[in-house]
A and B are shown apart, each in its own frame.
Chain A
Amino acid sequence: MNIIISNTEGIPIYEQIKEQIKAAIFSGDLKDGDLLPSIRQLAKDLQISVITTMRAYNDLEQEGFIVSVQGKGSYVKPKNPELIKEKKLLEIEEHLLAAINASKLVKLSQEELIDMLKFLIEEESND
């Protein structure tokens, strides 16, 4: 896993760490049960304060991405339903966006697109 911090983006450093660890989990770069770098090691490597890294890890733990074991370190939380859901939601969003963009090309109205979606959902449940 790589974490690259930018000081010019205007995004707080702890946010950048959070997002990049999440991205590594989604991409499969970090797998269930993988050990993350220790808070203090990461702070040292990135030349940032311990509190900044702690905040990123605390947020990730609260959001259910990682679990911290006292004295052992932080691990990627195994088989997290929330995490899978978030990943799926992203996928759905992507596909829906593709549908919206395609509908724009043929000048399909919003109502027609929604009707089409409803029709497909009904068809699916009738099967």
Chain B
Amino acid sequence: MTNILELSNLTKKFDSFSLNNVSFSLPKGFIMGFIGHNGAGKTTTIKLILDMLKKDSGSIKVFGKDNLIYKNEVMERIGVVMDSTYFVEEWNLADLEASVSPFYKNWNSKKYNDLLDDFYLDKSKKIKELSRGMKVKLMIAVALSHDADLLILDEPTSGLDAVSRNELMDILSDFITDENKGVLFSTHITTDLERVADFITFINKGEIVYSGTREELLEKYLVIKGGRGVLEPSQRELILGYREHSVGFDGLIEASMLRMMPESVVYEPCNLDDILVRTNMGGNSYE
């Protein structure tokens, strides 16, 4: 598999925050969810990919090419959706095309107009009149109209209602029916990723704590529940995010450790939120 995006040992230091040795790669043809709390380093990473920030060290390859040496070529093939539009609010959607299209060699005006129709976006509307969901769709329409091969979306779902989030997931799945394309998609809303993401990368305090397939991650752990006092102290130590309450306990356990548990416990498949909360991939206890 060829990587459409490859970060190695990316480092960027700020006064109060630093991104440390961030490495991960996304093979082409897949969707990667980039998960972390607010302030974990998602946007910094994305800005480094887009050369909106200068890195201290490390390397970024997009389509196998260095993102700085081949900047023009690389940027032309990346479609970007940020959490707010980078367009002038007073423009209507026709003005937008006139202003943006000269920047791209492959601008396809027919496609832009078709997409606006598909997304029910009215060309005569001004950008400031669009709802948040419509703005996200507009940014996607722009990205697809210049025939981007890699979509990078920074928190595209925040502030979107369930219907729009679902539509967005459909658009992304549709996008990667072409196996030469790829999507990197940052979010703190994990349910968006529950179904469509092929890969998950967790970032916490500027460091990558997991990067791999979503299935592998979800199969690694199980949610475990049981009555009070059924666990020996040695058994309890195996449970991540152990929580005891008046009528029992719950937590997360590595699937391979299940045989160490008493028969009275119940267990069930976990979801990304369980992992995020229990292993504290957002905190310090993750080993």
Contacts and interface: CB of A to CB of B under 8 A. Distances in A.
A41 B198 CA distance: 15
A106 B110 CA distance: 77
Contacts of B213: 51
A31 interface: no
B174 A50 contact: no
A40 B215 contact: no
A35 to B, nearest CB: 16
B176 A51 contact: no
15 contacts: A10-B269, A12-B219, A38-B177, A40-B177, A40-B178, A43-B196, A44-B170, A47-B169, A47-B170, A47-B196, A49-B196, A49-B197, A50-B31, A50-B176, A51-B198
Given A49-B195, A51-B30, A44 B177 contact: yes
A44 to B, nearest CB: 4
B195 A47 contact: yes
Contacts of A38: 177
Interface of B is mostly: mixed
Given A40-B29, A49-B30, 5 more contacts: A12-B219, A40-B178, A44-B173, A50-B176, A51-B30
Nearest to B268: A10
A48 interface: yes
B215 A51 contact: yes
Contacts of B219: 12
Nearest to A55: B215
Which secondary structure dominates where chain A touches chain B?
helix
A50 B176 CA distance: 9
Contact of B195 (A12, A48, A55): A48
B195 A40 contact: no
B179 A40 contact: yes
Nearest to B174: A44
A122 to B, nearest CB: 46
B214 interface: yes
B173 A51 contact: no
Contacts of B170: 44, 47
Given A43-B173, A44-B170, A44-B174, A52 B215 contact: yes
Contacts of A48: 195-196
